Amino acid sequence: MRSLPFLLLAGLTLALITSVEADEGPKTEMELAGRWDLPDRAMGVTVSGEYAYVAAGYGGLVVIDVSDPTNPTSVGSYENRIYEYAQDVVVSGNYAYIAFGYDGLVVVDVSDPTNPTYMGRYDTAGYAVGVAVFGNYAYVADSGHGLSVVDVSDPTNPTYMGGYDTAGYVDDVVVSGGYVYVAAGYSGLLKMDMSNSGKLTLVESYDGSGYAKGVAVFGNYAYVAYHNEGLRVVNMSNPAEPTYADYSRGDNAYAVSVAVSGNCAYVAYHEEGLVVVDVSDPGNLAYAGSWNYGGSDGAQDVAVIGGYAYVANGYDGFMVVVVGPDSDGDAFVDAIDAFPHDPEEWADSDGDGVGNNADPMPSIGIITAWWQVGSILLVGFASGATAIYGYRQRTLARRVSDKKDELKAKIAEFQEKGVNTVELERILEKSEK
């Protein structure tokens, strides 16, 4: 409990109560909600339920509880038995499928997220950097050895089914609408038919005039992160005549991964951080915002779910970033704005229902605060009042000879603002006895 000798300075304190200046808020619409340090470099991330699964380089797989996005907490981990480098991870059902570098594809049982358990592996011919799963098949981006298809119907015995030898490196793969989409380096974006028991047939290729590093697909559009070209959106609705739209951050910005949610594409731009591009008009891309942790590394991968971006931020660890609408335009997105429809308020540090800008004591709880305010008012307004303060207790002399009307007016003012004034009213009642 705070000691209160300062209350004797009633006139000064009253001035602070009646004239509170609002703090100036930040200009961004994305805010860091929470982060977690990892044993090694965060390379890939996916979210399933209340857990984020992070491919953490030599740290293997790390499972993080994100049920409270402001307080992400590691609950389990799996380090590869051969000590290889975890590059990417997806979760399907009870299993996590990890692209584990030279150790290929590793399958881990995560039915108990606190105890990830090794099930099996398939040693691909190359260096596994990306993975997607659909049904009984895992599609592994195997760097210079193209794309590998692995039957994972028996998680303890993943079995090679075939593959596709691309002309360029394969860095990322996703499955959508019965097709496999591959970010194939300088070969651009490849679209493959997967309907023949996991066997792949090339359907279309889209020349990116750059290095295709990451890919996401939503409807008829593919969103491709071109390493030093930026984001390219491919309209695939007419396969004979695909159209393209580009967004770039300049020659020194390197796009490595992309996720799409709603009308926005979220691009992991390495040292540039997380960049949001408005794709509501796919033919006319527009910058919508950015966030950068500013640490020793940069954004490597991103997943976006329910107003939060989950960022694998390299050596800086795992980040949860709040993204979304800002209804009142105060630069604090609704998800972290305590007053999403009041542009003058965005925080309530003491949880008393009054925003910090209007709260005379924003960091003190409601009962303590209004007891202190009542004490201040009585000391300032009451002639002949006697105040006795102690570290653990406070008492007020009950003889108040005048100024009660001003105290009543102050109570009424607080009530109009929706502030609980029970303690003030009790003080007034005692003073009138």
* Residue 333 within any structural domain of the chain: no
Q: Are 380 and 317 in contact (CB under 8 A)?
A: no
Residue ending a domain, among 284, 304, 328, is 328
The Cα 77–Cα 56 span in angstroms is 10
Query: Minimal CA–CA distance to 180: which of 213, 202, 211?
Result: 202
* Residue 75 within any structural domain of the chain: yes
Q: Are 370 and 421 in contact (CB under 8 A)?
A: yes
For residue 392, the enclosing domain spans: 5-22+344-431
Residues 99-112: pLDDT tens digits?
Answer: 999 999 999 999 99
> Do 287 and 414 fall into the same domain?
no
Q: Looking at residue 314, what DSSP letter applies?
A: B
Question: What residues have CB less than 8 Å from 423, skipping those under 6 apart?
Answer: 367, 370, 371, 374
> Do 249 and 388 fall into the same domain?
no
* Residue 135 within any structural domain of the chain: yes
Max CA distance (Å), the chain: 93
pTM here is: 0.74
CATH of the domain at 115: 2.130.10.10
* Residue 268 within any structural domain of the chain: yes
> Do 208 and 309 fall into the same domain?
yes
The Cα 265–Cα 260 span in angstroms is 4
Residues 258-280: pLDDT tens digits?
Answer: 999 989 999 999 999 999 999 99
> Do 11 and 48 fall into the same domain?
no
Helix or strand holding residue 53 (H, E): strand 51-55
- Crossing angle (nearest 10°) for helices 366-381 and 422-431: 30
Residue ending a domain, among 328, 357, 389, is 328
> Do 35 and 148 fall into the same domain?
yes
> Do 318 and 415 fall into the same domain?
no
Residues 50-109: pLDDT tens digits?
Answer: 999 999 999 999 999 999 998 999 999 998 766 689 999 999 999 999 999 999 999 999
Q: How many domains does the chain have?
A: 2
Query: Residue 186 above 50 pLDDT?
Result: yes
The Cα 226–Cα 213 span in angstroms is 6
Q: Are 432 and 401 in contact (CB under 8 A)?
A: no
CA distance from start to end of the chain = 28
* Residue 124 within any structural domain of the chain: yes
* Residue 337 within any structural domain of the chain: no
* Residue 338 within any structural domain of the chain: no
